[in-house]
Structure 1
Amino acid sequence: MQTEFVISAGEQPKRLDVFLVHREPKLSRAALQRMITAGWVRVNSLIAKSSQRIKAGDVIVFDAPQAAPLRIDGETKQLEILFEDHACLVLNKPVGIVVHPSPGHWSNTLLNALLDHCARGGAVATPGVVHRLDKDTSGVMVVAKTEEAHRKLSVQFERHSITRHYEALVVGVPAKSEGRIEAALGPDRHHPKRTSTQTLQPKRAVTDYRVEEAFGEAAARIVLSPHTGRTHQIRAHLQSINHPILGDQVYGGERVGAIAGYEIPRVMLHARRLGFTHPVTGMYGEWTAATPSDFDRVRGVLCAGRLERKT
């Protein structure tokens, strides 16, 4: 739900969070500060800070999140399980499914399916999502089945000791066959739901890449290894070097949506490999998942030379 405030001429200058505490009494100041940091609040269409002073004429847009349901129910859905024991589960996430319930997606999510899977298996454990993949991104994910496993896996992700390899089809071919993209990322100053190098809240972000296959000058298939875990990191980093992912119109615009009359069905990004230390046994393992059929079809079209780079 979106609320808009226009600051009147008689309003005395004060901090943004202080102003909102009085306008949104059901929310604590700490909660409002977290929402401001997350980009839910904008002043004059720009991402704001809690300490920002408001003045007469300012327009504040406040995106209040919808209330979550009291209970998340399990829903039967076929899952491709790569590994499972009492502590964790590794699966190949399909395209087109949201990982975790959120406003607009309280059902038909991966977590709904996992709840059903654990219940049918006779387990009392509640699955815990340790990391997420975007709705249009396919590939390997790990899910914790106990609190201990969730805590230990989360630490590995926080320390970036997890092995992660992604595969993407991108516009154009990078000049270097392999390299590192090291550019700080944060909420875009004009589009807060996007990640960008044009941000007022930059955080270190590092992604290594390697070109595995070039399709003339039109496109390339590359493997990427993120060393940090920023939101939309791979998508934003590839956009920053002018090689956005095919199908990713949020970061690449219309030129990546359809090329030479061929419509790209989704963001061509796949989590190919995931490696981590088992939270109970301490043994290291890696799991891989082959690219899905729609990814292979686009690659096949590129191999056939039917797509040309669009300028």
Structure 2
Amino acid sequence: MTDSHQRLEDRVQVPLDMGQKRFDQIAAALFSDHSRSRIQQWIKDGHLTVDGQTRKPRDKLIGGETLELDVELVPEERWEAEPVELAVVHEDDDIIVIDKPVGLVVHPGAGTPGGTVLNGLLYRYPELKAVPRAGIVHRLDKDTSGLMVVARTLSAHTSLVSQLQDRTMGREYEAVVTGVMTGGGVVDEPIGRHPTHRIKMAVTPVGKEAITHYRVLERYRNHTLIRCKLETGRTHQIRVHMAHIGYPLVGDQLYAGRNRLPKDVNRPVAEALREFKRQALHAAYLELVHPATGEPMGWQSDMPDDMIDLLAMLEADAEGDLEHDL
């Protein structure tokens, strides 16, 4: 075993009042720092035993048995630690909160094998090799800026994933959309992979549940600044939902179409819109329950300069300070 590996060893006796329940259900209750899927895999692999014997996840126990966990956590060797600059806004023994800039990819992939948030996390926090996906529990698109939380331990990872699943983690985004909204609302439309465009998502009856709440912060002549709160966390959710209801995000090359400009747009605004090459979306607020202390915590992130400049142009246009010509 190398120094980067971590070994988990634990023994616990099954209380008598938990008898006649399934092995995997009892184990999930007694080893609650770990996810059910991880526990089931350990049972199947023989790392979690009953009185020294391997058993099936569905086997019923009578109570009084000794459950023994002995597993080696093998790091993801294919992910390299790299010195990637990260803006850390909070860190403690259990979680890390970072403010991701525009252009930084979160997770390595075919097109971006390195130089990602994950690579930078492994460099700064080597112990994350023992945590799934180096502790990353939710992602931001490459060209979306803002806050994301990372788990430093297995128990924190389990807690954060649970908070995402039961929708108690709060995530709010600021976005600039094309079109003037009359008011806020809710988009409750399932999202799945686009049937013909491989890299796109779409509203589809066979997709997974997706719910986005949105409210108007500011209206301009042809655009609206909105605040979105995610109830679910599907890939490209805000981008897909806003385009679906006819208010695509400014600069969204994938879902807004090319050079979508209002008919009466003036020259300075048109130039500003053409030069805005990414979706105008910022993860502005994050709240969660701390995995170890149980205390509610929250963080805010200031809007990046490119969105501030864009809004300043739209504000000047709304106030009639710009020439209305092309």
In structure 2, give the amino acid aligned to 1:138.
S
Question: Is structure 2 residue 188 aligned with structure 1 residue 182?
Answer: yes
In structure 2, give the amino acid aligned to 1:239.
A
Query: So what's the TM-score if we normalise by structure 1?
Result: 0.71
CA distance in 2, matches of 1:109, 1:123: 15
Contact 1:247 1:257 in 2 (8 A): no
Question: Is structure 2 residue 110 aligned with structure 1 residue 103?
Answer: yes
CA distance in 2, matches of 1:220, 1:307: 20
CA distance in 2, matches of 1:274, 1:249: 26
> Once the 2 structures are TM-superposed, how far is the Cα of residue 228 of structure 1 from its aligned partner?
1.1
Residue of structure 2 equivalent to 1:209: 214
1:227–1:166 Cα change, 3 Å: same
Residue of structure 2 equivalent to 1:266: 278
Residue of structure 1 equivalent to 2:297: 285
Instruction: Give RMSD over aligned pairs.
Output: 2.3
1:123–1:224 Cα change, 3 Å: closer
CA distance in 1, matches of 2:323, 2:260: 11
Contact 2:128 2:152 in 1 (8 A): no
Cα deviation 1:33-91 (Å, max 9, x = unaligned): xxxxxxxxxxxxxxxxxxxxxxxxxxxxxxxxxxxx94322221322211100111011
User: Which structure 2 residues correspond to residues 247-262 of structure 1 after superposition, within 5 A?
Assistant: 247-256=251-260, 260-262=270-272
In structure 2, give the amino acid aligned to 1:228.
T
CA distance in 2, matches of 1:129, 1:149: 11
CA distance in 2, matches of 1:128, 1:180: 31
In structure 2, give the amino acid aligned to 1:180.
V
Residue of structure 2 equivalent to 1:234: 238
Contact 1:125 1:145 in 2 (8 A): no
Residue of structure 2 equivalent to 1:167: 174
SS at match of 2:176: strand
> Once the 2 structures are TM-superposed, how far is the Cα of residue 193 of structure 1 from its aligned partner?
2.2
Q: Which runs of 5+ in 2 are unaligned?
A: 1-75, 263-268
CA distance in 2, matches of 1:192, 1:103: 14
Cα deviation 1:67-123 (Å, max 9, x = unaligned): xx943222213222111001110110111011011112110100111111114xx98
> Once the 2 structures are TM-superposed, how far is the Cα of residue 255 of structure 1 from its aligned partner?
3.1
CA distance in 2, matches of 1:73, 1:203: 33
> Once the 2 structures are TM-superposed, how far is the Cα of residue 223 of structure 1 from its aligned partner?
0.2
Contact 1:265 1:294 in 2 (8 A): no
CA distance in 2, matches of 1:158, 1:241: 25
1:152–1:257 Cα change, 3 Å: farther
User: Which structure 2 residues correspond to residues 7-26 of structure 1 after superposition, within 5 A?
Assistant: none
Which structure has the larger Rg? 2
Residue of structure 2 equivalent to 1:193: 199
Residue of structure 1 equivalent to 2:80: 73
CA distance in 2, matches of 1:157, 1:81: 21
Contact 1:166 1:224 in 2 (8 A): yes
Residue of structure 2 equivalent to 1:57: none
Residue of structure 1 equivalent to 2:288: 276
> Once the 2 structures are TM-superposed, how far is the Cα of residue 240 of structure 1 from its aligned partner?
0.5
CA distance in 1, matches of 2:176, 2:143: 14
CA distance in 2, matches of 1:153, 1:299: 34
SS at match of 2:259: helix
SS at match of 2:97: strand
Residue of structure 1 equivalent to 2:35: none
1:203–1:72 Cα change, 3 Å: closer
Question: Is structure 2 residue 253 aligned with structure 1 residue 246?
Answer: no
1:248–1:307 Cα change, 3 Å: farther
Contact 1:97 1:109 in 2 (8 A): yes
Aligned residues: 236
> Once the 2 structures are TM-superposed, how far is the Cα of residue 261 of structure 1 from its aligned partner?
2.6
In structure 2, give the amino acid aligned to 1:153.
L
Q: Which runs of 5+ in 1 are unaligned?
A: 1-68
CA distance in 1, matches of 2:135, 2:259: 38
User: Which structure 2 residues correspond to residues 92-171 of structure 1 after superposition, within 5 A?
Assistant: 92-119=99-126, 127-171=134-178
CA distance in 2, matches of 1:255, 1:181: 25
Report sequence identity in percent: 39
Cα deviation 1:106-149 (Å, max 9, x = unaligned): 10100111111114xx9886531010000000001000011111
Residue of structure 2 equivalent to 1:88: 95
